[in-house]
């Protein structure tokens, strides 16, 4: 039975590590992490991801090109931002969470990704 393959697009190392722990604890595989638009797009072209956690503001700008590509691919994603009210309409098409997170927000994101139970080991 295959595991979920998650891409974490986040430029803050501590938050990235927290996401990795959350997905590991949920029995999911983190197939990659990206801190830039370029890294995220490269990983999305190289692997088949079943879910994405996407930070709005990355080291090289807003992640809109990544969000658009995810939308085209139909991959479930949750957008995370410190300014969810100021983000573009593209990001608002995805479920979203405001930073900073409360402890239960991480579990809610895992649930919101709507990953099929058969993908979770």
Residue 44 C-beta-side C-alpha neighbours within 13 Å: 26
pTM equals 0.85
Cα distance between residue 71 and residue 47, in whole Å: 16
Q: Please classify residue 6 by burial: count the beta carbons closer than 10 Å to its beta carbon, then call 0-12 exposed, 13-18 middle and 19+ buried.
A: buried
Domains defined for the chain, CATH in brackets: 5-119 (3.40.50.2300)
Q: 26-78 pLDDT, tens per residue?
A: 888 999 999 999 999 999 999 999 999 999 999 999 999 999 999 999 999 99
Decide which of 34 and 21 is more confident: 34
Length of the chain counted residue by residue:
121
């Amino acid at each position: 039975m295959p595991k979920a393959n998650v891409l974490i697009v986040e430029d803050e190392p501590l938050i990235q590590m927290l996401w990795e722990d959350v997905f590991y604890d949920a029995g999911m595989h983190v197939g990659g992490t990206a801190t830039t638009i370029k890294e995220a797009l490269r990983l999305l072209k190289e692997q088949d991801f079943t879910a994405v956690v996407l930070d709005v503001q990355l080291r090289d700008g807003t992640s809109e090109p990544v969000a658009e590509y995810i939308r085209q691919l139909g991959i479930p994603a949750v957008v995370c931002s410190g300014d969810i009210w100021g983000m573009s309409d593209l990001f608002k098409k995805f479920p979203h969470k405001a930073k900073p997170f409360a402890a239960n927000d991480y579990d809610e994101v895992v649930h919101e990704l709507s990953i099929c139970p058969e993908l979770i080991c």
